[in-house]
Amino acid sequence: MKTLRLNMTTEDIKVASEIICAGGLVAFPTETVYGLGADALNAEAVRSVYLAKGRPSDNPMIVHIADMQALGQVARETGEAALKLAEAFWPGPLTMVFKRQEIVPDVTTGGLDTVAVRMPSNEIARELIREAGTPIAAPSANLSGKPGPTTCNDVLEDMEGRIEAVIMGERCEVGIESTVVDMTGALPIILRPGKVTKEDIEELLKLEVSYDEALFDRPNKELNPEDGAQRAEGFKPKSPGMKYKHYAPKARVRLVHGELEPLAKEAEAEGTVVATLDYGEDSEEAARRFFADLRELDRKGVQLILVETLNTPGLGFSIMNRMLKSAGFDVVEN
Ligand code: TXA
Ligand code: MG
């Protein structure tokens, strides 16, 4: 298959929407990471997304919408709190989990009776959804287990020849995936931390918000082989995607509390090709660059990436979640 490069023009977005409507796959920019889009209501199309990504099929997709009418089409029992969150953070990097409507196929929700929904703020993404006239299921447009794609070239690196088209958009502003919040219980539960933080949600709703316990579990490394697809048994988060090995570059990643330089020198002396990443206190920059930096260092053939841990609250916590997973929870004090 030849992967078409499409531009951010009205004409090309129309071409992209036609591919989606015909059951094909199109990668497109969002403000978080690039998505790999398929018609969310077409089971066959969604099945091909799992294939293209090499993704385990019990890992459900986020359904992307462009307006509030579409929310009722795919979700039910949305409730007051969710509407408040939608008003404050949509369009934007927030995904909410609701009871699903029958119209959403099993394959889209990984067989769950819930559906994850997000309205992205990226204009190209919303234009594509509107033009397609159907909600778009889109996981991140990377091979399963690899760092998220924050540029169109990252997408091509993983997906060339596996999907019909890529919309060649800009670099993603946020750089890590959306916050996922389960809205089906009495109180919201954060299943995946992101740019919209626990504090943001608590302040708006005046409700206590918790993190899914699985966020703090360390998956068993032996059960998490390189290909990223194997299940870590005994690790049962509410968000099925959180149990798989994630964000792993070819290089080994190690997080360091404290000084990077002495450890880098040590490894270099042993003949290892080392690189260091230190974002200081700038969590916005860390979010924007972390996945991109991992990919860049892989291209350079680096063997060991030492990353200084972030100690900032809010967004810093969300980035640490990605950093820990990319490092397979390998953290040292120095
Ligand atoms: O920022 C984002 O959310 C990006 C862009 C493309 O929108 N998408 C993304 O999709 O990160 P993906 O498939 O890589 O991650 C979706 C996450 C997974 O952890 C999945 O398990 C969880 O959302 N999820 C999806 N549906 C769910 C559901 N019904 N209940 C619980 N978790 C769900
Ligand atoms: Mg992903």
Q: What are 235-291's pLDDT values in tens digits? A: 345 665 555 567 889 999 999 999 999 999 999 999 999 999 999 999 999 999 999
CA of 291 to the centre of ligand 2 (A): 12
Report pLDDT for 244: 56
Q: 210 - beta bridge partners?
A: 189
CA of 61 to the centre of ligand 1 (A): 5
Residue carrying the six token digits 């294939």: 51
- Do residues 325 and 148 make contact, with C-beta atoms less than 8 angstroms apart? no
What amino acid occupies position 6? L
Question: Which residues 6+ apart lie within 8 Å of 82 measured at CB?
Answer: 96, 98, 183
pLDDT at residue 105 greater than cutoff 90: yes
| Ligand 1 atom with minimal separation from the 141 CA | 6
DSSP, res 140 = B
Pocket test for ligand 1, best of 32, 61, 62 (most atoms within 8 A of CB): 62
Report pLDDT for 240: 58
Ligand that lies nearest to the alpha carbon of residue 122, given by its number in the listed order: 1
- Do residues 319 and 286 make contact, with C-beta atoms less than 8 angstroms apart? yes
Maximal CA-CA distance, the chain: 60
Is pTM, for the whole model, over 0.85? yes
CA of 32 to the centre of ligand 2 (A): 11
Average pLDDT, the chain: 92
Report pLDDT for 225: 38
- Of the candidates 324, 166, 152, the one whose C-alpha atom is nearest the C-alpha of residue 255 is 324
DSSP conformation letters of 306-323: EEEPP--STHHHHHHHHH
Q: Residues with Cβ within 6 A of ligand 1? A: 30, 32-33, 35, 59-62, 95, 97, 109, 112, 114-116, 118, 120, 138-140, 177-178, 180, 191-192, 238-242
Determine the Cα–Cα distance for residues 158 and 146; give it in Å rounded to an integer: 9
SS3 82: helix
Determine the Cα–Cα distance for residues 309 and 143; give it in Å rounded to an integer: 26
Phi, psi dihedrals of residue 236, rounded to the nearest 5°? -120, 70
pLDDT tens track for 185-234: 999 999 999 999 999 999 999 999 999 998 887 765 444 433 333 333 33
Report pLDDT for 233: 35
Q: What percent of the chain has pLDDT over 90?
A: 85
pLDDT at residue 117 greater than cutoff 80: yes
- Do residues 100 and 116 make contact, with C-beta atoms less than 8 angstroms apart? no
DSSP, res 254 = E
pLDDT at residue 119 greater than cutoff 70: yes
Determine the Cα–Cα distance for residues 219 and 326; give it in Å rounded to an integer: 12
**Cα–Cα–Cα angle for 229, 92, 329, nearest 5°?**
35
Residue carrying the six token digits 């298959």: 1
pLDDT at residue 292 greater than cutoff 90: yes
Determine the Cα–Cα distance for residues 176 and 318; give it in Å rounded to an integer: 8
- Do residues 195 and 251 make contact, with C-beta atoms less than 8 angstroms apart? no
Determine the Cα–Cα distance for residues 279 and 309; give it in Å rounded to an integer: 9
CA of 263 to the centre of ligand 2 (A): 31
Q: Which structure tokens are listed for 113?
A: 């009776």
Q: With cut-offs at 50, 70 and 90, classify the pLDDT of residue 57.
A: confident
- Of the candidates 138, 146, 102, the one whose C-alpha atom is nearest the C-alpha of residue 117 is 138
CA of 309 to the centre of ligand 2 (A): 22
Pocket test for ligand 1, best of 109, 152, 177 (most atoms within 8 A of CB): 177
- Of the candidates 29, 33, 62, 31, the one whose C-alpha atom is nearest the C-alpha of residue 247 is 33
Q: Whose CA is nearest to atom 3 of ligand 1?
A: 178
pLDDT tens track for 139-177: 999 999 999 999 999 999 999 999 999 999 999 999 999
Report pLDDT for 218: 72
How far CA 230 is from CA of 36, 233, 250, 310, in Å, comes to 22, 9, 17, 29
pLDDT at residue 65 greater than cutoff 50: yes
CA of 139 to the centre of ligand 2 (A): 6
